[in-house]
């Protein structure tokens, strides 16, 4: 092919390739998530990347969301690429509720697409990692959602050496109750918009906005700001919240639900330090109606929440008259990856196999194949270099990829039925009988 | 929302949802594939679902492939959804060859989209599960490709109780050599098109087509038909092929390569019955240039090849002048799923957790949470029903989902620190101390 005919190899703006060094930990994260979700009985599902546009956006929306990738397909249908996994879950639940039986617990790990302006760390294609319990308002489901989040972060911590985390809980009813009790119930959207800016712009500007957009008087603004600024241990906060919501039933029910959730978490053995009430957490309040949660890393709180979610009253109103209340949360896979990278917790390896076998005696391929097979049979991934090049060159290749052990066997060693097992981290080398190689590999890997 | 405003929950023609009963085995298959690929040092990568249209189709193609989902995005770019994982690999390899170092071994498990006419068992979205070794012509890579295929099918067999399989090997050079030796080299495309129909239309019609489209005389047609009909053990076939290709160098080199591959497989411990030379295998010959392979299930040969691939000379000519020879193959995940279903080897379960805990003493939630946590801590997935409904109703729910064990504890039992462990397959029930529940669960699951 001539140079003129060649195509420049590149990805679209806002899209990215995952190279092995990033994809290996990303797969490990997804595997940990699957393991934890399954351990609670959440079942995997998958839905198509493409859906009818009306399924994604609803009927009669004049202006299709600009963030949506959409087009007319070969059959003349208006279609779009899913932008989250919640709308597909709503369609799925409406379509199969009968078949699935309720309550239904599913997890879904899949890519979604949004045509938003690309920014550092934000892409137009990213992976979501959701779990939801649909068809129940029970407190046990609230508790379980927090437990799953807890077990997820604990398991990821163990896998990558990540430190402690804090799950922050709030309840939409508590916020609403407060607004009711101070006469701002009808202005909740404006209030929460203002409140969300507290950390960024400070109290004075929030007060000004509350006055302007929500028509709040000084006393009302006081109550709102005081709520968000509350601090203390969970018991103290529960008591203060109960006072603040006054005689609002919604508020009192929210406080009671938070109390039940904390009790359940303690019963299940969750360390108290891992869960904290935080009245400043709001999270997309148009959607959520009950418990809301966020999770921050104690070593890197600035990166934001790495696992978030909440309870909703009615998942699938767009598709069915059947009311489907539920609760769900999502692991922020890509944000966690970024956090692990920033904390230097990602191993610098480009190979999923720890063992490297150089092939440098051209006519002894059969011996190397046997050696590799025996190591794999013992459960250790082993890569055999495919070409009989000079040993030094092959070891350079190995070094670049980040293998942990090399099995070096020249003609002499092969004739004697022996092999060097070299620890690539320390450079130390032990010669053992071929039959004992797997054990020695295990010893080196175990020590590392 | 009013009935008129509601949207009908449905998927696009040719697309499908994966419900838990299908998604659970699909995830298990992908996990086996990942495990085997990794054990040989193949590293995971991912590429975007959307690419520049020219990356997918090349420059100046007047007629964009109708099978491609393509559109103009918000930024005015002509984009398309990937229709396979090979073109993205070619772009990826051209873009990062320097960074990755060669040879480069990757696996890629991801969805692809083709707007083809939907048929039974064929969808417009499906998962591919590819592995490739790029940047080497070495025979060791050929051998390894067959070994990976062998280990994949062996591991899937162990996981699902699937019987034996046969990997069928051929070499493009052998086919070309034969055509050279009988003067049909320039007509190879027409010959192979005719030959591919042998099983379907029979020898007479193939001879007629060979005469018509390839201008083959009777002697030439004889040679072609004879090649495809060859039978016998691998040694016999190697000898016959060597004779048939005559003095064609290409043919002789192909036969020699097949011999080396068989020797290597034997050295690595592959049972001879698992690998068979099959001169009738062609596989998209425009693309492949060396070894080609297909894999059939001995219990269900009619379903076709479940793992196929071959060697190519130049992966990424469209993107770079660097020659990138390689070899790869692909596991037919969805076809294997269909085969497992047809052979009744898929477990009928809709839950990934084997243990079900009914919650029927309303005020003992804390006890049930503790029980569930202890079973999970011992490594067994356990689902706690979230609402305190009648036991019978909950056991119906459990029955429908396919759990294997139920942990039944009423107030009396909880007060005594005991619990019934019920084997849901046999109906047998044993009462044990709460502290011994996990062991008893292990016993029941181990026995099942």
Q: What CATH number is attached to the domain comprising B373?
A: 3.40.50.800
Q: Which two tokens stand for residue A69?
A: 């990738």
Does B98 touch chain A if contact means CB atoms closer than 8 Å?
A: no
Best residue in A2, A32, A35, A43 for a mutation probing chain B (most B CBs within 10 Å): A43
pLDDT at residue A87, as a whole number:
95
Say whether both B181 and B322 belong to one domain. yes
pLDDT at residue A284, as a whole number:
61
Say whether both B313 and B337 belong to one domain. yes
Supply the DSSP symbol for B275: E
On average, the pLDDT of chain A sits at: 93
Look at residue A34 and tell me if it is in a domain. no
Look at residue B118 and tell me if it is in a domain. yes
Does B363 touch chain A if contact means CB atoms closer than 8 Å?
A: no
Say whether both A285 and A359 belong to one domain. no
- B333: domain CATH number is 3.30.930.10
Give this complex's ipTM. 0.94
The C-alpha of B378 sits at a distance from chain A's nearest C-alpha, in angstroms, of 11
Write out residues 31-60 of B within 8 Å (CB-CB) of A. Answer: 34, 37-52, 54-55, 58-60
- Extract the annotated binding site of B for L-histidine: 84-86, 114, 128, 132, 283, 287-288
Write out residues 61-80 of B within 8 Å (CB-CB) of A. Answer: 66, 69-75, 77, 79
Look at residue A386 and tell me if it is in a domain. yes
Q: Which of A207-211, A282-286, A423-427 has the lowest mean pLDDT?
A: A282-286
What residues of A are in contact with residue B146 (Cβ under 8 Å)?
Answer: none
Q: Is the pLDDT of residue A40 over 90?
A: yes
Look at residue B277 and tell me if it is in a domain. yes
Q: How many other C-beta atoms are found inside a 10 Å radius of the C-beta of residue B202?
A: 10
Say whether both B166 and B255 belong to one domain. yes
Give me the percent of chain A exceeding a pLDDT of 70.
98
Does B353 touch chain A if contact means CB atoms closer than 8 Å?
A: yes
Look at residue B257 and tell me if it is in a domain. yes
Say whether both A183 and A289 belong to one domain. yes
Q: Least CA distance to A67: which residue of chain B?
A: B74
What residues of B are in contact with residue A360 (Cβ under 8 Å)?
Answer: none
At which residue do the structure tokens 């968000």 appear?
A228
pLDDT at residue B193, as a whole number:
80
What residues of B are in contact with residue A367 (Cβ under 8 Å)?
Answer: 267
What residues of B are in contact with residue A334 (Cβ under 8 Å)?
Answer: none
Chain centroid to Cα A60, Å, comes to 33
| pLDDT band, residue A281 (cuts 50/70/90) | confident
Report the pLDDT averaged over residues A352-367.
Answer: 97
Nearest-by-Cβ selection for B268 from A59, A70, A369 = A369
The C-alpha of B435 sits at a distance from chain A's nearest C-alpha, in angstroms, of 15
Say whether both B196 and B329 belong to one domain. yes
Q: Is the pLDDT of residue A120 over 80?
A: no
Look at residue B284 and tell me if it is in a domain. yes
Q: Is the pLDDT of residue A121 over 80?
A: no
b/e map of A168-195 (b: 16 or more CB within 10 Å)? bbbbbbbbbbbbbbbebeebbebbbbbb
Say whether both A363 and A440 belong to one domain. yes
Look at residue A381 and tell me if it is in a domain. yes
CA-CA distances (angstroms) from residue B243 to A406, B282, B300, B311? 43, 20, 33, 24
What is the number of domains present in chain B?
2
Q: Which of A45-59, A92-106, B173-187 has the lowest mean pLDDT?
A: B173-187
Write out residues 114-133 of B within 8 Å (CB-CB) of A. Answer: 115, 125, 133
User: What 3-state class would DSSP assign to B417?
Assistant: coil
| pLDDT band, residue A63 (cuts 50/70/90) | low
Q: Please indicate whether, in this complex, the C-beta atoms of A7 and B66 are within 8 angstroms of each other.
A: no
Looking at A280, A298, A316, the residue that finishes a domain is: A298
Report the pLDDT averaged over residues A138-164.
Answer: 97
Report the pLDDT averaged over residues A115-137.
Answer: 91
Does B391 touch chain A if contact means CB atoms closer than 8 Å?
A: no
Best residue in A34, A48, A98, A271 for a mutation probing chain B (most B CBs within 10 Å): A48
CA dihedral A439, A441, A442, A443 (to 10 degrees): 90
Look at residues A140, A145, A127 and name the one whose alpha carbon lies nearest to residue A42. A145
pLDDT at residue A427, as a whole number:
94
Look at residues A427, A448, A442 and name the one whose alpha carbon lies nearest to residue A347. A448
Say whether both A287 and A359 belong to one domain. no
The C-alpha of B292 sits at a distance from chain A's nearest C-alpha, in angstroms, of 18
Look at residue A233 and tell me if it is in a domain. yes
Q: Least CA distance to A17: which residue of chain B?
A: B47
Looking at B293, B318, B342, the residue that finishes a domain is: B342
Report the pLDDT averaged over residues A5-31.
Answer: 95
pLDDT at residue B60, as a whole number:
57
Looking at A298, A332, A366, the residue that finishes a domain is: A298
> Which residue range(s) make up the domain with A367?
355-447
Report the pLDDT averaged over residues A121-144.
Answer: 95
pLDDT at residue B122, as a whole number:
82
Higher per-residue pLDDT: A244 or A80: A80
Best residue in B16, B43, B79 for a mutation probing chain A (most A CBs within 10 Å): B43
Q: Please indicate whether, in this complex, the C-beta atoms of A41 and B269 are within 8 angstroms of each other.
A: no
Say whether both A284 and A367 belong to one domain. no
Q: Please indicate whether, in this complex, the C-beta atoms of A387 and B138 are within 8 angstroms of each other.
A: yes
Say whether both B310 and B380 belong to one domain. no
Write out residues 317-346 of B within 8 Å (CB-CB) of A. Answer: 317-321
pLDDT at residue A280, as a whole number:
84
What residues of B are in contact with residue A14 (Cβ under 8 Å)?
Answer: none
Q: Please indicate whether, in this complex, the C-beta atoms of A264 and B74 are within 8 angstroms of each other.
A: no
Say whether both B270 and B385 belong to one domain. no
Nearest-by-Cβ selection for A41 from B37, B43, B353 = B353
Contacts of A426 (CB under 8 A, 6+ apart): none
pLDDT at residue B297, as a whole number:
97
The two most distant CA atoms of chain A are separated, in Å, by 91
Look at residues A220, A211, A210 and name the one whose alpha carbon lies nearest to residue A244. A220
| pLDDT band, residue A285 (cuts 50/70/90) | low
| pLDDT band, residue A93 (cuts 50/70/90) | very high
Phi, psi (rounded to 5 degrees) for B276? -135, 135
Report the pLDDT averaged over residues A275-288.
Answer: 82
Residues in chain B with pLDDT values less than 50: none
Best residue in A22, A33, A41 for a mutation probing chain B (most B CBs within 10 Å): A41
Nearest-by-Cβ selection for A140 from B37, B316, B359 = B359
Say whether both B418 and B300 belong to one domain. no
Q: Binding site annotation covers A288?
A: yes
């Amino acid at each position: 092919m001539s140079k003129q005919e060649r195509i420049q190899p590149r990805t679209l703006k806002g899209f990215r390739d995952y190279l092995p060094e990033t994809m290996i930990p990303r797969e490990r994260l997804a595997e940990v998530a699957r393991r934890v979700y399954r351990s609670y009985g959440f079942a995997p599902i998958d839905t198509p990347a493409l859906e009818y546009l009306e399924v994604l956006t609803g009927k009669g929306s004049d202006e299709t969301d600009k963030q949506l990738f959409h087009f007319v397909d070969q059959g003349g249908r208006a279609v779009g690429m899913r932008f989250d996994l919640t709308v597909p879950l709503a369609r799925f639940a409406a379509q199969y509720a009968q078949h699935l039986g309720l309550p239904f617990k599913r997890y879904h790990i899949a890519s979604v697409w949004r045509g938003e302006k690309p920014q550092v760390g934000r892409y137009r294609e990213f992976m979501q990692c959701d779990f939801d319990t649909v068809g129940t308002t029970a407190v046990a489901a609230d508790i379980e959602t927090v437990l799953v989040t807890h077990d997820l972060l604990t398991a990821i911590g163990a896998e990558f050496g990540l430190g402690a985390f804090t799950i922050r809980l709030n309840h939409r009813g508590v916020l609403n109750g407060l607004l009711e009790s101070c006469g701002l119930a009808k202005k909740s959207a404006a209030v929460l918009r203002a409140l969300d800016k507290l950390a960024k712009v400070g109290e004075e500007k929030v007060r000004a906005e509350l006055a302007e957009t929500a028509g709040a008087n000084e006393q009302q603004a006081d109550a709102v700001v005081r709520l968000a600024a509350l601090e203390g241990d969970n018991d103290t906060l529960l008591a203060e919240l109960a006072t603040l919501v006054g005689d609002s039933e919604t508020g009192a029910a929210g406080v009671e639900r938070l109390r039940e959730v904390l009790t359940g978490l303690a019963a299940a053995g969750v360390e108290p330090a891992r869960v904290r009430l935080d009245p400043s957490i709001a999270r997309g309040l148009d959607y959520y109606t009950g418990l809301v949660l966020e999770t921050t890393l104690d070593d890197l709180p600035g990166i934001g929440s790495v696992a978030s979610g909440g309870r909703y009253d009615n998942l699938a109103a767009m598709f069915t008259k059947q009311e489907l209340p539920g609760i769900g949360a999502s692991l922020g896979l890509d944000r966690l990856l970024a956090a692990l990278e920033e904390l230097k917790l990602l191993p610098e390896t480009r190979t999923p196999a720890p063992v490297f076998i150089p092939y440098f005696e051209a006519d002894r391929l059969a011996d190397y194949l046997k050696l590799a097979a025996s190591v794999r049979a013992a459960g250790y991934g082993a890569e055999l270099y495919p070409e009989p090049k000079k040993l030094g060159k092959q070891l350079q290749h190995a070094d670049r990829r980040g293998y942990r052990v090399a099995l070096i066997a020249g003609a002499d060693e092969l004739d004697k039925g022996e092999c060097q097992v070299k620890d690539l981290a320390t450079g130390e080398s032990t010669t053992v009988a071929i039959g004992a190689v797997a054990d020695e590999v295990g010893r080196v890997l175990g020590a590392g």
